[in-house]
Amino acid sequence: MNPAAGSFESRAALALKDASLQKALGNFKPLFVAKRASAVAELADFEALRERAAQIKNAVLGELDVWLERYAAAVEAAGGKVHFASDAAEAREIILGICRDANAKTICKGKSMVSEEIALNPALEAAGYEVVETDLGEYIIQLAQEPPSHIIAPAIHKTREQVADLFEAHHPGRAREESVAGLVNEARHVLREKFFRADVGITGGNFLIAETGSSVIVTNEGNGDLSQTLARVHIVTSGIERVLPTLDDLSVFLRILARSATGQDTECYTTISTGPQRAGDPDGPQEYHVVLVDNGRSKMLGGKFRDMLRCIRCGACMNHCPVYSAIGGHAYGWVYPGPMGAILTPLFNGLAEHYDLPNACTLNGRCQSVCPVKIPLTELIRTLRSEQVKAGLMPARQRTLMAAWGWVARQPGLYHALERFGSRLLRARAGKTGRIASLPGAGAWTGIRDLPAPSGATFLEQWQQQRGGEQ
C-alpha cells in the first residue's frame, strides 16, 4: 500500500469534516477504552505481566539472530520452510514464487498487518490471482477498496449503513441486510465457499515460537483457522521481531494481548500451527512456509528506536489516543496509525516524507501508560522530533517561532509576565461559559472544538498559593 495522497494536515482536515467518519468514531471511542479498563482491573497481576512481557522481548531482541536461527531450525525440523526477506519487494517475490509453484488460482487471507505493510494484495492481484480477505473487517475494506483504519478493527470507520450498501452492491441476488447479525451472516455465507476453493492460505503470525517452530494467531472469528487448514499451502507472513523463546513465554503475552486490544479476558481463538499436515492429522496444508520480513527492523534493532520492536500490535495506543479518536486511521497515510504509526511510518518510509506524524502528537502519555509491553512511546516520538530538527527538516516558520519561544523561556521575568497576561486574557474571553469558541490565530482548533479556558491564575501562582497555605 502506498501512503495516501495529500499531506497529513489535509487528510486530518477532511476527516474532521466527514460526518459519517465522525459518527463511526463516536461509536468507537468509549468501546475499547472502557472494556480494557474493566478487564485490566479484574487481573491483579496485570502490571507484573507487563513488566515480564517487556523483559522477555528485551531479552529476545538482545539476541535476535540466535532466536531466529533456532526458530528456523525448528520449522525445518517440523517439515516447513522459512524464507528471509530483507524488504517488502523481496517478500512479495517470495510469496509470488510460492503461489506460482503451487499453481494457485484462489488465495484466502487471514488478517496480517505485515501483508498490508509489504503491499501484498496488489502484487497478487496484478499476477492474476483471486485474493479474498476473510477477516470481516478486512473483507469490508477490500470491497470498499480502502486501507485499514485500525490494526485490530480495520473497518471501524464504517457505519452499519455503509457496510449494508457495500454488501448490497457486491453480493447480487441477495436481499439487503440491515442488522449487524444479518450482515455478519451474509459475509459468512459468501466467504465459506471461498475457503473451500482456496489453493493458498495466507495468515499473519502474532507470535513465533523458537522452541517448537510454531506460528501463533489470535482471532475472534475463526477465519484464520479456515484459511490455514483448508488450503493446500499455508504461508505465514511475520516481522522478524515476533519470535518468542518458548510456549511458556507465549502464555504471558496471551494474558495481556486480548485485554489490551479489545478488553476481553481472552480471544475466541488461539491457534498454534507447526509445519504441514502429518500422517494421522485430520486436516492441514500440504506445504507450510514462513516469510520473515525485515523491511527496516534490523536498522531499528541497532538504533534509538529498538524499544518499538517490542510492539505486539494490540492497538491499545491508538484506542487511547485523542488524535486518532478525532481523525481515524486513514489520515496517518499508511498501514500503522495512531502513536505506533507516528513512530513506525517515519522510520519505515522516511522522516521527511512523514514529518507531520510525530509532530501531531500531544504527548499526553496515555498511549505509553496502557502499552502492554511498556514501550516509551512519547519518549520515542520526542526523539523522532529531535532527529527531524537535526536533519534540518523543521519548516522555516516553525523554526522561527520555536527560536522566539526559546528566547522568551530563557527570560524568567518576561516569561512569567506573558504567562500571567495570557492566562487572564483567555479567562476573560471565555466569560461565564468557561470555554472559548473562537480565538485569533487558533482557528484550526476552535473551528472544530471549543478551547477550555484556563482558571485565570497561572500554575506557578497556584502552586505558590498552595505552598503558602500549607505553611
> Is the model's pLDDT at 4 over the cut of 60?
no
Look at 66 and 1; give whichever has higher pLDDT: 66
User: Look-up: residue for cell 461565564?
Assistant: 432
> Is the model's pLDDT at 50 over the cut of 80?
yes
Looking at every residue in the chain, the average pLDDT score rounds to: 93
Which residues have C-beta within 8 Å of that of residue 452, sequence separation ≥ 6?
434, 435, 436
**The pLDDT value given to residue 123:** 97
d(CA 397, CA 382): 20
Percentage of residues in the chain having pLDDT higher than 70: 98
pLDDT tens for 130-161 read 999 999 999 999 999 999 999 999 999 999 99
d(CA 386, CA 376): 15
pLDDT tens for 209-230 read 999 999 999 998 989 999 999 9
d(CA 393, CA 142): 36
User: Look-up: residue for cell 523481496?
Assistant: 90
Q: What is the pTM of this model?
A: 0.90
- Which neighbouring-strand residues pair with 202? 109, 235
> Is the model's pLDDT at 444 over the cut of 80?
no
**The pLDDT value given to residue 1:** 35
**The pLDDT value given to residue 470:** 61
> Is the model's pLDDT at 341 over the cut of 90?
yes
- Which neighbouring-strand residues pair with 235? 202, 289
